[in-house]
Amino acid sequence: MFEHILYEEIKDRIGLLKINREKALNALNLQTVSELNKFINEQLPGENLRVLIITGSGSKAFVAGADIKQMKEMSKEEFHNYCNVSHDNFNKIQNLKIPVIAAVNGYALGGGCELALACDIRIASDNVKIGFPETKLGLFPCWGGTKRSSMLMGIGKVKELIFTGDMISAEEALKIGLVDKVVKQDELMDEVLSMAEKISNNGPLAIAYAKETINKGQEMNHSGALDLELKMGVECFDSLDRLEGMTAYLEKRTAEFIGK
């Protein structure tokens, strides 16, 4: 059905989405962003899915950015449409009810770094080169990168990365909070899967509520965010999953959550 993205449920309730343009280092051309849009709109979150993993095909790149060959020929209107679709994709990934883990495997540049930033958690392999090279092309990150990176990192680092266009190593990205964990390249998928499995065994409703509360809280003032947390926490308490989780604990058995 799709040419530039691949999707499979690799384990029970865990989906793996691959950007699949290995020869172009998985650069997000127009076809890829529209396939992503169709996939996200029509197939996510998926009935039983608890965690989505996003990665790039091959061992060299997660995503090397927007497609420079195509962008070079675009009119302003065409570029606007291209950006709109990518914004829609990344906003929907950010707001999915299930957690999304980026398995960052190699170059994560420009729009690729922005895709990783739209995910909830970023696990990087030790060969990662990540950054925003757009200013070297006379552009700046405009697929959510200025804002989402500023939510994770100090504003000075954001500006340094964007103004210099430097690619940084996985270790440096870890130090500044741009990625959350670094593992050896050949251990990346095991590490990501082990985290995904842990998450998939926990209460899906609680996780969805926590994700929404954390995300919305970022855009609120302190007391507004705490009010939201209180409201969402009480709503979550009033669920079958909460009852099951506590009953299972007291009965010393594994909880069977149903997401209600």
Maximum alpha-carbon separation in the chain:
64
CA distance 157 to 239: 42
Where do contacts with ligand CAA occur on this chain (CB under 6 A)? 24-25, 27, 64-69, 107, 109-111, 114, 133-134, 137, 139, 141-143
| Closer residue to ligand CAA (CB): 36 or 51 | 36
Give me the least distance between CB of 163 and ligand CAA, in Å please: 15
Catalytic residue among 77, 134, 172, 235: 134
CA distance 38 to 34: 6
- Are 34 and 48 in contact by the 8 Å Cβ rule? The answer is no
CA distance 5 to 39: 9
- Are 66 and 111 in contact by the 8 Å Cβ rule? The answer is yes
Give me the least distance between CB of 141 and ligand CAA, in Å please: 4
Give me the least distance between CB of 71 and ligand CAA, in Å please: 7
Q: Which residue has the tokens 């990662």?
A: 128
User: At a CB cut-off of 8 Å and minimum separation 6, what does 260 contact?
Assistant: 205, 239, 240, 241
Question: Which helix (DSSP H) or strand (DSSP E) does residue 55 occupy?
Answer: strand 51-56
Q: What DSSP state is assigned to residue 44?
A: S
Give me the least distance between CB of 82 and ligand CAA, in Å please: 8
Give me the least distance between CB of 242 and ligand CAA, in Å please: 41
Q: Cα torsion for 136, 69, 76, 34, to the nearest 10°?
A: -120
77 annotated active-site: no
| Closer residue to ligand CAA (CB): 114 or 120 | 114
Catalytic residue among 3, 22, 114, 187: 114
Gyration radius of the chain over CA positions: 19
| Closer residue to ligand CAA (CB): 168 or 232 | 168
78 annotated active-site: no
Q: Cα torsion for 26, 30, 36, 37, to the nearest 10°?
A: 160
| Closer residue to ligand CAA (CB): 81 or 202 | 81
Which residue sits closest to ligand CAA, CB atoms considered? 110
| Closer residue to ligand CAA (CB): 146 or 202 | 146
Would you name the residues annotated as active-site residues? 114, 134
